[in-house]
Amino acid sequence: MGDAKTERQQADDLPGGNVVRILLQQHAHIRDLFSNVKKTRGDERQQWFDKLRATLAVHETAEEMILRPVAKRTAGEAEVEARNLEEKFASETLAELETMDVDSAEFDTKFAYFERAVIKHAEREEQQEFPAVLAGCDQDQLRTMGYHLQSVLSMAPTHPHPKVAGSTTAQWVMGPFASLLDRVKDAVEASRSRH
């Protein structure tokens, strides 16, 4: 994973609806969001961080629910377990960042560390997991996975939930409840900020 431009180019080489294409596009978008958080301050920074937090929470949930079961077969159980452990750690760190003042030195330090960890995680997915899934599935399967991924993205939790992160089963069981609570919380916070 070199940069957002490279990820977008790699995504463009894959057919529309392909699960890996969608995930590569998301990786590029996540890089853009990290950049926006780093170059802003105050309320604008908080808004960009909230977008990044929601995007990462939704993205990781969707990967755990849709990609990981197939990757277990194509890339192997050890690969999937390693990525799930990274996602659990990321969820814990994201939950910590969510409670911090985005303009504090403590946030800056933890955020820089978090960004490096997320980028490394995405690189491992792109180098290990994605090629195995592409090689182990036909185009119809990849499109079906893409469709299911899009469905999960539209209803996944928008805040980190470290207790269920890294577990496909826990995501399926608890995800809908967590998502409902997150989306109500987001609506209340948006309403407060307008008044």
Q: What is the DSSP string of 116-176?
A: HHHHHHHHHIIIIIHHHHHHHS-HHHHHHHHHHHHHHHTTS-SS--TTTTT-HHHHHHHHH
Q: Rounded to two decimals, what is the model's pTM?
A: 0.85
Residue 153: Cβ-neighbour burial (10 angstroms; 0-12, 13-18, 19+): middle
21-46 pLDDT, tens per residue?
999 999 999 999 999 999 999 999 99
* Predicted local confidence at residue 186, as pLDDT: 65
Which pLDDT score is estimated for 1? 43
Pick from 83, 79, 51: which is nearest to 64 by CA? Answer: 83
pLDDT score, position 99: 95
Please work out, in degrees rounded to the nearest 5, the angle formed at the alpha carbon of residue 65 by the alpha carbons of 19 and 154: 70
Which stretches of the chain score pLDDT less than 50?
1
Residue 139 has a pLDDT of: 97
Query: In this predicted structure, what is the pLDDT of residue 149?
Result: 94
